[in-house]
Amino acid sequence: MTSPDLTPVEEAIDHLVAQARPITRSQTVALTNSLDRVLARDYTVPADVPPADNSAVDGYAVRAGDLAGGGPLPVSGRTAAGEERLTLKPGTAVRLFTGSEIPSGADAVIMQERVSVCGDGITVNGPVSEGQNIRRRGQDLAQGELALAAGTRIRPQEMGLLGSIGTADVAVYAKLKVAVLTTGDELVDPGQPLGPGQIYNSNRYTLLGLLAKAGCEVVLCEALKDARDATRSTLERAATEADLIITSGGVSVGEEDHVRAVLEESGDLSLWRLASKPGKPMAFGTIGDTPVLGLPGNPVAVLVSFMVMGMPFIRACQGRTSITVRGERIPAGFSTEKPSIRRQYVRARKNIGDDGLTITAYPNQSSGVLSSACWAEGLAVVPENTTITLGDPIVYYSFAELLE
């Protein structure tokens, strides 16, 4: 069971995704600059890919029926990729190479390793069947079919596919504009000396890195003073510049936690306090029409909350069709002693030992130990009201997958 004042993780993610307003601004970029952008329209295939039957190997084009006698075949021609298509003379072979168009009249390609060259002819070593080593026209993509749908995030393979259908310029959604606001009068920028009670502002740089990985554009990056009016003023100004405001800290129950209070007083607070560990004091609401994702202040809680709750919301805002991640089930190489009413996201990584592949947990899971996240390669999930024993299957998400 979960405490009635804590929102379960799945319910929180569903709420966030439901509140997302997909971006509608689009722009055209060169294919070379399209990596990690999101397609703003469908792309259909203008012509078959490949445009003609071609050879999958270096070898010889033949008519399989001409080999019934078992004797050598004279070589009547030679063609390379990009050259004009030849016509195969009956009872002969054509020397060709990977990507060469299949000569008219040929119905098979014999790889050169299975051929013995005898003067001006070849002897085939082994059986030959019609269609072998031939890549058929339209085998990859047929004219008129959907190549890639709007909402697809462009990876290197999508860049290649767009190139294969002749696309030089790509219509993509504009990058999500994000304001990053960190709270705490104790925060000092790196490079400055620390005074009494001060700490360096690590959350700013964690968030800048996360947002860069997520394909967002940071349009404002400031520190919030621990004062109600200053917090309200900065949030309202950020709302005029950004599609999304992300804060760290200021959303718990302390007297100096002003972000949550401002959302309640001057905006809307629709989500607060999650059944997540770390990440319980996460908040979500709006200032004006601009969504505000209020992350906790502890360094690891910022990282985990952004990856687990923030990324599905950002993907939805980016217009992406793939919102959630799958993870994988792997035996646990660690155990837990007490169940928790909150879902635990354990900093962990894969390990291959004598017992095979397991998930190993960092020994100190405090939400202030950011070095644990540098050691880790992902998050292992301990469900609510559950204990884990060695060997139990456990869901594991790599950081790479969480930030896709």
pLDDT per residue rounded down to tens, the chain (404 residues): 567 789 999 999 999 999 999 999 999 999 999 999 999 999 999 999 999 999 999 999 999 999 987 779 999 999 999 999 999 999 999 999 999 999 999 999 999 999 999 888 999 998 999 999 999 999 999 999 999 999 999 999 999 999 999 999 999 999 999 999 999 888 899 999 999 999 999 999 999 999 999 999 999 999 988 889 999 999 999 999 999 999 998 787 666 678 888 999 999 999 999 999 999 999 999 999 999 999 999 999 999 999 999 999 999 999 999 999 999 999 999 999 999 999 999 999 999 988 899 999 999 999 999 999 999 999 999 999 999 999 999 999 999 999 99
Query: Alpha helices, DSSP H only, in 119-250?
Result: 156-164, 202-213, 228-241
Q: What does the alpha-carbon distance between residue 273 and residue 269 come to, in Å, rounded to a whole number?
A: 11
Which CATH number covers residue 372?
2.40.340.10
Whether 193 and 275 map to the same domain: the answer is yes
3-state secondary structure of 17: helix
The reported pLDDT for the residue numbered 185 is 85
The reported pTM is 0.90
Is residue 60 domain-resident?
yes
Whether 101 and 167 map to the same domain: the answer is no
What distance lies between CA 21 and its chain's CA centroid? Answer: 20
Whether 169 and 32 map to the same domain: the answer is yes
Q: Do β-strands 290-295 and 244-248 pair in parallel, antiparallel, or remain unpaired?
A: parallel
Q: What is the number of structural domains in the chain?
A: 4
Whether 31 and 168 map to the same domain: the answer is yes
Which CATH number covers residue 44?
3.90.105
3-state secondary structure of 57: coil
Is residue 3 domain-resident?
no
Domain of residue 391, residue span: 328-403
Whether 221 and 288 map to the same domain: the answer is yes
Whether 210 and 270 map to the same domain: the answer is yes
Domain boundary among 318, 340, 357: 318
Is residue 367 domain-resident?
yes
Domain boundary among 318, 349, 364: 318
Is residue 388 domain-resident?
yes
Which CATH number covers residue 247?
3.40.980.10
Check: CB of residue 403 under 8 Å from CB of residue 213. yes
Whether 181 and 311 map to the same domain: the answer is yes
Is residue 144 domain-resident?
no
The reported pLDDT for the residue numbered 197 is 92
Whether 227 and 347 map to the same domain: the answer is no
Is residue 1 domain-resident?
no
Distances (CA, A) of 220 to 186, 236, 243, 352: 20, 12, 11, 43
Beta-carbon contacts of 192 under 8 Å, excluding residues fewer than 6 positions away, are none
What distance lies between CA 330 and its chain's CA centroid? Answer: 21
Nearest residue to 138 (alpha-carbon basis) of 42, 54, 43, 41: 54
Nearest residue to 297 (alpha-carbon basis) of 267, 243, 253: 253
Is residue 145 domain-resident?
no
CB atoms within 10 A of CB 368: 12
Q: What does the alpha-carbon distance between residue 154 and residue 32 come to, in Å, rounded to a whole number?
A: 11
Whether 165 and 32 map to the same domain: the answer is yes
3-state secondary structure of 123: strand
Whether 261 and 214 map to the same domain: the answer is yes
Whether 185 and 279 map to the same domain: the answer is yes
Q: What does the alpha-carbon distance between residue 8 and residue 282 come to, in Å, rounded to a whole number?
A: 12
Is residue 259 domain-resident?
yes
Whether 44 and 109 map to the same domain: the answer is no
Beta-carbon contacts of 130 under 8 Å, excluding residues fewer than 6 positions away, are 64, 107, 108
Six-digit token string for 93: 């072979």
The reported pLDDT for the residue numbered 300 is 97
The reported pLDDT for the residue numbered 164 is 96
